[in-house]
């Protein structure tokens, strides 16, 4: 059965933790869906892990739609949430509603996610009014990297912690169905999770949130040497891939690949006749 916003809400109420991973393509989405992951995030992190940019700022609506459609095809049960890219919801509320609509209509997402707190209340309200579920995202919001001056833990001072709590409450009031809490102290995330009736999904926010999300290349050991503290590597697929690719190259050089079982044959007399 397809997971929906209601499934997530029930999971919070029943204290069943929500599992979420990023996905950017059909075959990976299908693997995650079959493994029983509850929700897939087509994150704008795709700019970094799939397209090789240094940050998420240059990701376009077209990029998001293209990857979102592929993920949606692979997600039979998982709930698909697609990120609104930088500048697709900042200029005007009508832009924001229009672009959110494109991620649903063209990207086949079931919900959208946008970064920001109270200052985006009106935007979240307007998108929600168009019957598009909105997931909030506060704490470390990577689209604000230039404003933050780098990727840093947020909400460590009293003022900053208070602002993040206020933002969470404002997003819930504006109609968000869930909120991602990124790189904030665990006790602050726990407090927010208690105060909200909607689910919280943590990344670098401790284990008291209603769910967890990670970028899959990070948790499978496929992306770079950069290793945020909050990532746990569940596999070393990058190393496995390199080993397999090197073996492939060697076997080509040594004429061990392809072997007879990978090869098509023809009656020898046909070749003999052609040789004459």
Among 215, 219, 220, 222, binds ligand KIV (CB under 6 A): 215
Q: Verify binding: residue 109, ligand KIV, rule CB under 6 A.
A: no
Count of alpha carbons within 13 Å of 254, Cβ hemisphere only? 8
Minimum distance, C-beta of residue 68 to Na ion, in the bound complex (Å): 13
Is 8 a residue that touches ligand KIV (CB under 6 A)? no
83 or 167: whose CB is closer to Na ion?
A: 83
Q: Which two tokens stand for residue 20?
A: 């979420």
Q: What is the DSSP string of 160-222?
A: HHHHHHHHHHHHHHHT-SEEEEES--HHHHHHHHHH-SS-EEEESS-S-SSEEEE-HHHHTT-
Q: Tell me whether residue 182 is one of the annotated catalytic residues.
A: yes
Nearer to ligand KIV, 174 or 219 (CB): 219
Q: Judged by CB, which is closer to Na ion: 54, or 159?
A: 54
111, 132 in Cβ contact below 8 A? Answer: yes
Minimum CB distance to ligand KIV, residue 137 (Å): 6
Q: Does 154 bind ligand KIV (CB under 6 A)?
A: no
Give, as ranges, the residues between 216 and 275 that touch ligand KIV (CB under 6 A): none
- Binding-site residue set: 44-45, 83, 113, 115
- Extract the annotated binding site for 3-methyl-2-oxobutanoate: 44-45, 83, 113
**Would you name the residues annotated as active-site residues?**
182
């Amino acid at each position: 059965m397809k997971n929906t916003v209601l499934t997530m809400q029930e999971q919070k109420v029943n204290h069943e933790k929500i599992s979420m991973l990023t996905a950017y393509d059909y075959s990976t989405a299908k693997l995650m869906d079959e493994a029983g992951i509850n929700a897939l995030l087509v994150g704008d992190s795709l700019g970094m892990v799939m397209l090789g940019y240094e940050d998420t700022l240059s990701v376009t609506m077209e990029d998001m739609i293209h990857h979102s459609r592929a993920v949606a095809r692979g997600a039979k049960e998982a709930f698909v949430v697609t990120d609104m890219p930088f500048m697709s919801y900042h200029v005007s509320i009508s832009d924001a509603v229009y672009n959110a609509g494109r991620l649903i209509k063209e990207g086949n997402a079931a919900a959208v996610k946008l970064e920001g707190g109270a200052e985006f209340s009106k935007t979240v309200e307007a998108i929600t009014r168009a019957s598009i579920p909105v997931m909030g995202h506060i704490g470390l919001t990577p689209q604000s990297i230039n404003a933050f001056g780098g990727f840093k833990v947020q909400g460590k001072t009293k003022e900053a912690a208070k602002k993040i709590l206020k933002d969470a409450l404002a997003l819930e009031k504006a109609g968000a169905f869930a909120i991602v809490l990124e790189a904030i102290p665990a006790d602050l995330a726990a407090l927010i999770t208690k105060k909200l009736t909607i689910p919280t999904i943590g990344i670098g926010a401790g284990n008291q949130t209603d769910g967890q999300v990670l970028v899959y290349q990070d948790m499978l050991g496929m992306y770079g040497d950069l290793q945020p503290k909050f990532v746990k590597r569940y596999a070393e697929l990058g190393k496995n891939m390199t080993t397999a690719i090197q073996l492939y190259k060697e076997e080509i050089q040594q004429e061990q690949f392809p072997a007879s079982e990978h090869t098509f044959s023809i009656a020898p007399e046909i070749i003999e006749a052609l040789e004459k």
